[in-house]
Structure 1
Amino acid sequence: MRTLSTLSTEHRGRLTHIAREVSFDQGTRLFEEGGPADSFWIVRTGLVTLDLRVPGRRPRVIESLSHGELVGWSWLFPPSPWQMGAEAMTPVRALEFDAAEARRLCEADPWFGQEVGMWVGSVLARRLQAARTRLLDLYAAPRVTGVRG
């Protein structure tokens, strides 16, 4: 798991300096797929699920996030909208970051920007691999058991 603690102490401090503590009640939607990616969060307590819309059905949960994990990566790639949705499955306490301010910090200091970009990129790569694994499990050919030739 790539948490905020993977940033250097200096860069972690610069980023957390712009954070504010927030709380979400169980069932609160943090964001919707397609909406503006103008914030991101680090979970302090509780559980947040990431989901994708499925036509004609409820959103499909694709990942659960807990303590120390990043909620939202779309903010790093403006003006991209959220690529999925997120919901508080339990009461959640989190650090909330203004995406525009975080991007300004990244642009003002290339070393800081590179470290934040690598952090978010590593989170994105891990989530992409996890989604790939779930899709393989979901769509793999069924195993045939008990068949004699």
Structure 2
Amino acid sequence: MSTPSPIRIAAVLSTEYRGRLMSHAREVNFPEGARIFDEGSRADSFWIVRSGTVTLEIPVPGRRPTPIESLGPGELVGWSWLFPPYVWQLGAEAMTPVRAYEFDATTVRMLMDADPAFGSALGHWVGRVLALRLHQTRTRLLDTYAPRLAAS
């Protein structure tokens, strides 16, 4: 089974909508090992990676968080900002030095509400990213647990 390509913003949003979104970006940097967000904390920002690698992870009681996805340039970091109750469902850490564009979630949601076509386009982008990540997580779970189940 082939691995689907990441859903990058340039491949999904029109030049106009990308420009509108990017006009609200703020450049930020995260040093290697920096926590970007933790599961359960308030999702009030999101990022598009410019350079470096961000690892998404799921907390495991009594152990270090388990990495589930690595994100690179052009990829969206965070989707929980779009859906109430606006709380992170995963954690994220900079695995290398990361340069990113940061967006204020409240501002972007207001832009989406003010222009339904823009809101729909941005919502479809986030939805496609979410669907891809669910598919990739399912594939990893099957790779991990299917051999054990077959041996039982």
Aligned length: 144
CA contact (8 A) 2:112 2:118 kept: yes
The match for 1:123 is: 129
- SS of aligned partner of 2:32: coil
Say which SS state the counterpart of residue 82 (structure 1) adopts.
coil
Q: CA deviation at 1:82?
A: 0.3
**Rounded Cα–Cα distance in structure 2 between residues aligned with 1:4 and 1:16:** 11
Report deviation, 1:2: 1.2
> How much does 1:139 deviate?
1.0
User: Does residue 78 of structure 2 align to residue 72 of structure 1?
Assistant: yes
Code of the residue aligned with 1:133 in structure 2: it is: T
1:81 correspondence with 2:84: no
Distance in 1 between the 2:44 and 2:90 partners? 14
Q: State the alpha-carbon separation in 2 of the partners of residues 3 and 113 from structure 1.
A: 17
Structure 1 CA distance, aligned partners of 2:86 and 2:108? 15
Equivalent AA in structure 1 for residue 66 of structure 2:
R
Correspondence 1:15 to 2:17: no
SS in 1 for 2:63: coil
Structure 1 partner of 2:141 = 135
TM-score by length of 1: 0.94
Q: How far does the alpha carbon of each residue in 1:93-138 deviate from its partner, in whole angstroms, 9 at most, with x for none? A: 0000000000000000000000000000000000000000011111
Q: 2:99 aligns with which of 80, 93, 98?
A: 93
The whole-number CA distance in structure 1 between the counterparts of 2:8 and 2:110 is 21
Superposed displacement of residue 36, structure 1: 0.3
Please, which of 108, 113, 116 is the counterpart of residue 110 of structure 1?
116
Alpha-carbon distance in 2 for matches of 1:32, 1:12: 27
What is the SS of the residue equivalent to 1:58? Answer: strand
Q: Residue 3 in 1 paired to residue 8 in 2?
A: yes
Distance 1:10 1:71 in 2: 22
Paired residue for 1:58?
64
RMSD between aligned residues: 1.0
Name structure 2 gaps, 5 residues minimum.
Answer: 1-5
2:55 counterpart residue number: 49
The percentage of counterpart residues that share the same residue type is 64
User: Structure 1, unaligned stretches of length 5 or more?
Assistant: 145-149
SS of 2:100's equivalent in the other structure is strand
